[in-house]
Structure 1
Amino acid sequence: MRQTIAAATAALCLTSAASADLDITIHYLRVETAKPPTLSNLDPIPEDLGLAGARVGLDDNTTTGRFLGQSYTLTETTVPEAQDPTDAARAALAETDLIVLDAPAEALRTIADLPEADGALLFNATAPDMALRGPECRANVLHTMPSLAMRTDALAQFFVTKRWDTLALIAGEQQADEAFAAAMRTSLTKFGLGLEAEKTWAFDADMRRNAAQEVPLFTQDLGEYDALIVADEAHDFGRYILYNTWRPRPVAGSEGLQAEAWAPVVEQWGAAQLQSRFTEAAGRDMAPEDYAAWAAVRAIGEAVTRTSAADAATLRAYLLGDEFELAGFKGRPLTFRTWNGQLRQPIPLIHARALVAQAPLDGFLHQRTELDTLGLDAPESGCAAFEAAR
C-alpha cells in the first residue's frame, strides 16, 4: 500500500514538474488601418480595442494555469498605419508560434504566408471577410471573429421568424458597407427572402442638421417594406435613418436591430460576470473585437490545459478535434469548424438597450449542429487549405 502511494506521489510530482516548465507566450499583433471619417464622434474607438479582451483572457488563463504549473505571457506589438507588417510579424513569430491578429484581411494573408508562419497558429480576431473563410483561407489561421455571413444569417433568420418578407436596403459607399450589403443579399437568398428596393447613401451634407428633411425624401421611393436594412459599418449615417424614414418601419443591420459577436446588453448564461470583469479591467464596455480576442486567448488556454502542451501543432489538432469546447458565455459550447477554422458561436441580436434574441433561432435545423446554419457551411465554403492540411 505504501509503495502504491509512493508511486502515485512520485507520478504526481513528475507531472507537476513537467507542467511547471510549461511557459506559454501569446503575441498580440495589431496592424493599424485608416478609419473613414464619420459625422459624429459620439462613439470614439478605444485605443485598447481588442487588446483589452486579450488581456482579460490572459488573466483567465493565468487563474487556471496557476494551479497547473502553467505560466502565461502576453506580448504586444502595434504596426503603424501604412507600414509593412512583415518585419513585426517575423519578430513576433521568432518569439512564439501563437499569434492573435488584429489586422485587415490583406495583412492577415501576408502574415499567414510568411515562411516563419508555417507551423504557427494564428487567430483572426477582427477581420470578418468572407474570403478568409472561403477560397482565401489559410490552414494556420483560426477565426474567433464571426464572419459577415454569420451576422447577416442571424438577421435573416429573425426576418423569417417575424415574417418580414418585404425588405429594403440602404448601403453606404465604403468598402465595408458594400461587403455587408453583399453578405446580406446572400443571406436573404439563403433563407428564401429578397429585396424589394435598394439605394446607395451618397450624401455629403451634415445629417446632424438635415436628417429630418433629407431622410424622409430619400426613403420615400423605397415603396412598401416590412423592415429597412442599413449597411453602414462605420456607423456614420445610419443613426440618422432611425425615426426619420418616410414609412414608420423597423431598421436593422448596422443600426437598429444589430447582429454582433458581443454587446454590453448580453447578460444571460453568466455573461454578466464576464462583462463586469472586463469593465473592471478596461474601464469600458466589452466590444465584439474584445470578445473575439478574449475567445482566442481562452481557446489557447483551454487547449493547453487539456493537452499539457504548448506547441502550435498539438494545440491546433486539439482545437479542431471533437473534444474541444469553449465556455463562451453564450449558452452553448463554442467549437471550431474543421473545414475553415471558424469558431462556431451564437450571434446575439441586440439593440442599444436590450438583447432581443440569439441566433440560431428556433426552427432553423442542421444535421450537425444548429450553429452551422450561421455562416459558411462545409459544402459552400470553398476552403481547400484545411482539407489539404489534414
Structure 2
Amino acid sequence: MRTLLRLIGLVTGLILAMPALAQDKVLSVAVVTRAKPPSQPVSRLDDVVTEEGAAGARLGIADNQTTGRFTGQRFVLVEKRLDRDEDPVLAIRALADDGIGLVIAATDGATLGALARVAATRNILLLNAGAPDDSLRNEACSRDTLHTLPSRAMIADGLAQYFAFKRWKRWFLVTGRQPGDRELAEAYRLAARKFGMEIVAEKDWTFQPGNGRTDTGHVQLQTEIPTFTQGPDYDVLVVADEAGEFGDYLEGRTARPRPVAGTHGLVATGWSPVTEQWGATQLQNRFEKQANRRMTSIDYAAWAAARAIGEAAFRTKSTDPGTIEAYMRSQDFLLSGFKGQGQGFREWDGQMRQPILIVNQRLLVSASPQAGFLHRGSELDSLGTDKDESRCKF
C-alpha cells in the first residue's frame, strides 16, 4: 500500500511539474569560431587542440542548464564554425536574422572587428573569447563588445608584477615573426616602463621553426641559441612567441643560465591546465571529460562568457539579451571564475577583470596582481589599461 501511495505521489508531482517545464524561458546563445591553418607541433607530446572555444562554450552552457532547471530557464547553444576564407559578416547577419542577441566570438582580432561592425547595427552583444589585441580595448573598441579573454597588456603587466616581486629588473626581449608577437612585445615594453624595469637587449627570432625536430636540429640549436642570446647581462629572457614557433627551444640553451619567461618557460596566461587552486580542479575535470583534452585559455574565456550570460540571466530572472547585458555591465555583477577573486567587467572598455596566472609546465607558480600593487578601485585594475589610460571612447 505504501509503495502504491509513493507511486501515486511521484506521478502527481510529475504532472504538476509539466506546465512549469513547458513554460521554461529559452535563451539562445551563439559561439563563432574560425578554422586555423595547420601548425607543426614542436614536440610529439603536444596536445592536438580541436574545437577550441566552442568546447569551452559548451561546458558553460551545460553549467547554466544545471541552475536553469531550478529557475525555469533553458539555454541553447548555436555553433558556427567559419572556414578560413568565409565572410564573418554573412554569418553574424544570419544569427541576427534568427533572433540571437548574444554571441561568443572565439576568433582572431580581424574577424572580431568584422563581427563587431555588424553587431553594432543588429542589436547584438559580442563576448570576445579569442582576440587579445589591445587595440580592440582602446581606439578600436566597440560599445557592443565585452572581453572575457585577457588583453596582451594584462598578460604583460601580470608578468611584470611577478618580476618586480622577484627583482628581475633587467630583461632580454626576444620577439617572433608574427604580428601578434610584435604586439605582445610592445605590451612588454609598456609594462617594463610601468613597473620600473629595463629592457637591456632586444632581438628578433629569424630562424626557421621546426628544425629542432630533425635528426641534427638539436645540435644546430645548441650552437645557434647561445650565440643569439649573447649580449649585456640580464635577469630574465622574455619571449614573445604566441604561435609557439621557437620559444620551447630557448630554455637550457641560452648563453647565460637565466630563466625564460613570457609565452614559454614561466608563462603568464588567463588559464592553464595545471591550475588546481580555488576549486579549479573540478572545472578542469568536467572539461576534460566532455572534450577529451585539456582546457586552454581560449576555452576558459568562452566558458566564462557563457557563464557570465547565465549568471546575469539567473540574477535578473530574464532571458532578454538587453536586460542580461545591462546586468553584466553593472557594478553588481560578479562571476566566480575559479581564480580566487570575483570577476566583473570594466565600464570603460568592457574588459573582464581577472587574475593573471603565472605557471610552468606542471604547476601554478603565482598569480597577479601581486601583493603590494594597490589600486584606488580594484587591485585587478592594476593589470592592463586603467581608466585614465584608456583610449576607448564609447
TM-score (norm 2): 0.90
How far the C-alpha of 1:54 sits from its partner, in A, is: 0.6
- The answer to whether residue 383 in structure 2 is matched with residue 380 in structure 1 is no
1: CA distance between counterparts of 2:207 and 2:115?
Answer: 37
Give SS of 2:300's match: helix
Alignment partner, residue 200 of structure 1: 204
Corresponding residue for 1:238? 247
Alpha-carbon distance between aligned partners in 2 of 1:32 and 1:284, rounded to the nearest angstrom: 18
By how many angstroms is 1:41 displaced? 5.8
**Deviation (angstroms), 1:294:** 0.2
Structure 1 letter corresponding to 2:66: T
2:49 — aligned with what?
A: 46
- Provide the residue aligned with 1:215 in structure 2: 225
Q: Percent identity?
A: 45
Task: Give the counterpart of 2:256 among 230, 237, 247.
Answer: 247
Deviations 1:106-135 (A, max 9, x none): 221211111675421110001000001001
Structure 1 position 85 matched with structure 2 position 88: yes
Counterpart CA distance in 1 for 2:57 and 2:251 is: 34
Counterparts of 2:22 and 2:342, CA distance in 1: 26
Provide closer, same or farther for how the CA distance between residues 353 and 228 of structure 1 changes in structure 2, counting only shifts above 3 A: same
Conserved 8 A contact 1:19-1:68: no
Cα distance change on mapping 1:117 and 1:327 into 2, 3 Å: farther
Aligned residues: 370
Q: 1:189 aligns with which of 168, 189, 193?
A: 193
**One of 73, 87, 108 as aligned partner of 1:70:** 73
Tell me, in whole angstroms, the C-alpha distance in 2 between the residues paired with 1:46 and 1:38: 11
Q: Deviations over 1:34-84 (max 9, x none)?
A: 466565564354221111111110110000001111111101011100221
Measured after TM superposition, the shift of residue 31 of structure 1 is 2.5
| Corresponding residue to 2:235 among 222, 226, 229 | 226
| Cα distance change on mapping 1:59 and 1:143 into 2, 3 Å | same
Q: 1:19 to 1:295 in 2, by over 3 A?
A: farther
Among candidates 295, 298, 321, match of residue 289 of structure 1: 298
Q: Which amino acid aligns with 1:74?
A: L
Counterpart residue number, 1:141:
145
Task: Give the superposition deviation at 1:231.
Answer: 0.9
Pairing of 1:347-366 with structure 2 (within 5 A)? 347-366=356-375
1:258 aligns with: 267
Paired with 1:36 and 1:178, the residues of 2 have a C-alpha distance of 19
Q: 2:12 corresponds to which residue?
A: none
- For residue 311 of structure 1, report the CA deviation from its aligned partner: 2.1
Match of 1:113 among 91, 114, 117: 117
Measured after TM superposition, the shift of residue 357 of structure 1 is 0.3
Name the aligned partner's letter for residue 218 of structure 1.
F
What letter is aligned with 1:356?
A: V
Q: Which runs of 5+ in 2 are unaligned?
A: 1-15
Q: Hey, what does 1:6 align to over in structure 2?
A: none
Conserved 8 A contact 2:33-2:53: no
How far did residue 216 of structure 1 move? 0.8
How big is the shift at 1:166?
A: 1.2
SS of residue in 2 equivalent to 1:77: strand
How far apart, in 1, do the equivalents of 2:119 and 2:158 lie? 37
- 2:348–2:387 Cα contact (<8 Å) kept: yes
4+ residue stretches of structure 1 with deviation over 3 A?
16-21, 33-42, 115-118
